[in-house]
Amino acid sequence: MYLGVVLNPFASKNRARARDRCAISRRIVGSWGEVHESRSLDDLAEIVGTLLPRASHLVSDGGDGALHWLINEVRSQVTDPDHWPAFVPSRAGTIDFVARKAQVHGRAESILRTLADAAMSDQPPPESHLDTLSIEGRSIEGASFHRVGFALAAGGIGCRFFDRYYEAPNPGRATIVKVVARTIGELAASAVRPGPTSALGLFKPARANVVIDGKELATHTHNALHAGAFDVNLGGMLRVFPLAREPGMLQFQAGEISPAKIIAHLPALIAGGAIRGDRLHDTLGRQMTITVENGDEPLSPIIDGERFAGLEQLVVSLGPRVRIARPTRPRPSWRRAVAAMCGGETTR
């Protein structure tokens, strides 16, 4: 085992002490890996190029977005997924839904210590294999677009929810509650006293032609336009894509559903149940194609919490399976004990 740690200093849990975090991580990892701080995509490309020849495990010290960029940079440099290293999310973001799905527990320092112990003991941690979305497309200028991700909000409530979520200075579980509660309150008030309300903006539909597994949907307006590679737990508050709990198929959501019905389905979202609507297609499938009609607003999808603007078509299908290592505490290592007495430095 050799650990490559990529620290995102802009992640929510890293901002306050990014410099200390880097030094602490280096002391924990010792000679069993290396720690790099990535402040830009150019930094990330160079770091991944340095680590790939020797790193068996890549630790993304950031949130879901940081992991997304890391996986896609690896994909750009190594085309065969069978030769990708195992990835480890460190739970330093605001939601960390990939870590929740892969059952990666603990704080970042604890995760690194467990990995260092595993490397010294030559006992690689167990792994989960997670499905991904392969998202191909093109921009309105005709440029090609390709990402690998886990969860897609291509339009409708998913996109607009995250707009409001990231408006908060320190988003987290409480922010999810506030956005939902504010929306319900504004809709209830507008029902009593009709008038314009910002809550309705959350439900503004996207316009697009949608084809799922070769069948074109009759509706061209979509309050929900989403895709998930697995069931997603948003901060322990909302659970979406429950149909994709088992591997091998993707869950697609497209079509119309009223704000009142979405609010009525909140208990189901909290419990991990399905959403039902007469004109909403919520189904398992293999491919979904989304094409913006002439003159309509371009797509600005959110993939794993990251925004990509100015697209006119997306083709979503099953992507490569990604290995996510799940660090577990091994039996005490005599080398770790010696390292602790010597100030944390170890040798191979």
**Shared fold status for 3-131+323-341 and 133-320:** no
Cβ atoms of 336 and 120 closer than 8 Å: yes
133-320 folds as Tumour Suppressor Smad4 (2.60.200)
160, 261, 277: which is closest to 217 by C-alpha?
Answer: 277
The structure's pTM equals: 0.87
Cβ contacts of 302 within 8 Å, gap of 6 or more: 152, 153, 158, 159, 162, 308
Cβ neighbours of residue 305 closer than 8 Å, sequence gap 6 or more: 63, 64, 65, 68, 93, 95, 162
Question: CA 47, 50, 56, 59: dihedral to nearest 10 degrees?
Answer: -10
- Looking at residue 345, its pLDDT comes to 47
pLDDT at 202: 73
Domain ranges (residues) in the chain:
3-131+323-341, 133-320
Pick the closest to residue 29 from 118, 112, 105 (CA basis).
Answer: 112
pLDDT at 296: 86
Q: Indicate the residue type of 198.
A: S
Q: pLDDT tens, 21-37? A: 888 999 999 999 999 99
Closest CA to 180 of 262, 256, 274, 241: 262
Q: Report the C-alpha gap between 161 and 151 in whole angstroms.
A: 14
- The whole-number pLDDT of residue 347 equals 38
Q: What are the tens digits of pLDDT across the range 108-142?
A: 889 999 999 999 998 999 999 999 999 999 999 99
C-alpha angle with apex 64: 128 to 15, nearest 5 degrees? 130
3-state DSSP assignment of residue 270: helix
Q: Determine whether 43 is exposed, middle or buried from the number of CB atoms within 10 Å of its CB (0-12, 13-18, 19+).
A: middle
- Per residue of the chain (348 residues), give pLDDT as tens: 999 999 988 776 666 666 688 889 999 999 999 999 988 889 999 999 999 989 999 999 988 999 999 999 999 999 999 999 999 998 888 889 999 999 999 888 899 999 999 999 989 999 999 999 999 999 999 999 999 999 999 998 888 888 888 888 778 778 888 887 887 776 666 555 555 555 566 778 899 999 999 999 999 999 899 999 999 998 778 889 999 999 999 999 999 988 778 778 778 777 777 777 778 999 999 999 999 987 789 999 999 999 999 999 999 999 999 999 999 765 555 555 555 555 554 433
Candidate CATH numbers 3.40.50.410, 2.60.40.10, 3.40.50.10330, 3.50.30.30; the one for domain 3-131+323-341: 3.40.50.10330
Q: Mention every residue, 6+ apart, whose C-beta is less than 8 A from residue 225.
A: 153, 154, 155, 156, 158, 159, 206, 208, 210, 253, 254, 290
